[in-house]
Amino acid sequence: MMGDQFRKVENYSPKSSPRGARSPVVSRQDSSGTLKTTILLGKNPSIVPSGPFYLMKEPPVESDLTGATNLMTYYGLEHSYSKFSGKKLKEQLSSFLPTLPGVIDSPGQQDNSSLRSVIEKPPVGGKELLPLSNIQLDGFRLHPGPLPEQYRYANATPIKKHKNKHKKHKHKESGLPSQETAVSDTSSETHEKKHKKQKRHDEEKRKRKKEKKRKKQKHSPEHSSGLTPSQHSI
Amino acid sequence: MASSSLENLETQLEMFIENVRQIHIIVSDFQPQSQNVLNQKLQALVHGLQEVDKLKSQVQDVHVPLEVFDYIDQGRNPQLYTKDCIEKALAKNEQVKGKIDAYRKFKANMLVELSRTFPNELSKYRALRADE
């Protein structure tokens, strides 16, 4: 069996072919459609065999733009690349939007301020925006006085020393007043100071009380009676 | 065109935010004489919304990837997304260029070896493929 197989292979090998090293001529149908002949019509009609090779196909059309070209240069994005690759970007959103008031670094899902929610549940729109009438403005008539504690500090900007430096610089350029940040900062600072002072004060009071107690105990007769008999003897 | 309209929108939004910030100050310790100022600010708020609404048509062709919103919602710098995209694109570009270069070298070597082993066939092949 094996010998037969080898013989068959040898029969079709290019070396044993009567045409030498050329491919053997075997009568078979061109299923691939690659064995083409070109028929030229006109004054001198002729038939030119155009496909002497098996499995020869037309090469794919080469596109002008491939991955071989530097696409960053092609689209003129070198500047953006050098801008982002060079420096180390800060993680926080507040570093991208330094002038935005309020706490913006916390996840948006916490206070329902996420942009996703705007896409998933778009707000009711399509109505014309009109200025408020006097009657409507009456709804905004407020009582004098400060806001309750829980609302007053809710939207205050967090105090960051290095950030304030940037802010100062920015405001100098834009000329916008930073009332709220100043107000909120100072108010929050004073608030913290008050707390600290109170704490210190309380601690001092406690210490004084303790000292007084000790002194009283030392001088009081109870204190001496508190000693053990052995101590008395010594 | 697109950049100027974006700048306009940015300016309008900044003004709107500034207006809201000032309302916050007025309201946080409200004085009776501030009522008129508050009313003016509220009207300015409506006007600001109208202005933003007008600019809507100018930014219709601006497409923002949804992933950027995820970055913002998580309190992260959206420029990090741009940076990630650029780095990924560059890495892929280099990878594809490497593949193309390797195939080119392989083709050149193949043609050299084939011309050594099958000189006649290859000359025919070269005749067929003028560009080879």
Is the Cα torsion angle A50, A53, A55, A57 positive or negative in sign?
Answer: negative
CA distance B69 to A7: 71
Residue (of A136, A133, A178, A126) closest to A157 by Cα position: A178
Say what the pLDDT of residue B55 is. 93
> Of A97, A130, A116, A125, which Cα lies nearest the Cα of B56?
A125
DSSP A46: E
pLDDT more than 70, % of chain A: 46
What's the rounded Cα separation, in Å, for the pair B75 and A105? 4
List of chain B residues whose C-beta atoms are within 8 Å of the C-beta of residue A76: none
Nearest residue on chain A to B35, alpha-carbon basis = A141
CB A170 within 8 A of CB A98: yes
In tens, the pLDDT along A11-29 reads 444 444 444 444 555 455 5
Predicted pLDDT at A125: 81
Q: Which residues, other chains included, contact B17 with Cβ-Cβ below 8 Å and sequence gap of 6+? A: A100, A101
Judge if pTM exceeds 0.80: no
Q: Which residues of A touch B43 (CB under 8 A)?
A: 131-132
User: Do A122 and B42 touch, CB atoms closer than 8 A?
Assistant: no
Compute the distance between CA of residue B66 and CA of residue B78 in angstroms, rounded to an integer: 11
Q: Which residues of chain B have pLDDT under 50?
A: none
Going from the first residue of chain A to its last (234 residues), give the mean pLDDT of each consecutive group of 10, the final group possibly shorter.
45 48 50 60 71 75 89 92 85 89 83 88 88 93 85 58 43 40 40 48 62 55 38 37
pLDDT of residue A45: 77
Residue type, B128: L
Locus of tokens 């028929």: A39
Distance CA(B129)–CA(B132), nearest Å, equals 6
What angle is formed at CA B3 by the lines to CA B61 and CA B59, rounded to 5 degrees? 30
* Structure tokens that stand for B131 in this block: 């560009």
pLDDT score for A179: 40
Of A141, A151, A152, the CB nearest to B35: A141
Q: Do B125 and A89 touch (CB under 8 A)?
A: no
pLDDT at A223: 42
Q: Which of A151, A157, A153, A150 is nearest to A92 (CA)?
A: A157
Q: How many CA atoms lie within 13 A of A138 on its CB side?
A: 3
In sequence order, the β-bridge partners of residue B76 are A92
Q: How far is B76 from chain A (nearest CA, A)?
A: 5
B14 touches chain A (CB under 8 A): yes
> CB under 8 Å, gap of 24 or more: what pairs does A21-24 form?
A21/B118, A23/A54
Listed residue (A7, A9, A59) closest to A34, CA to CA = A59
* A window 153-172, beta carbon within 8 A of B: 155
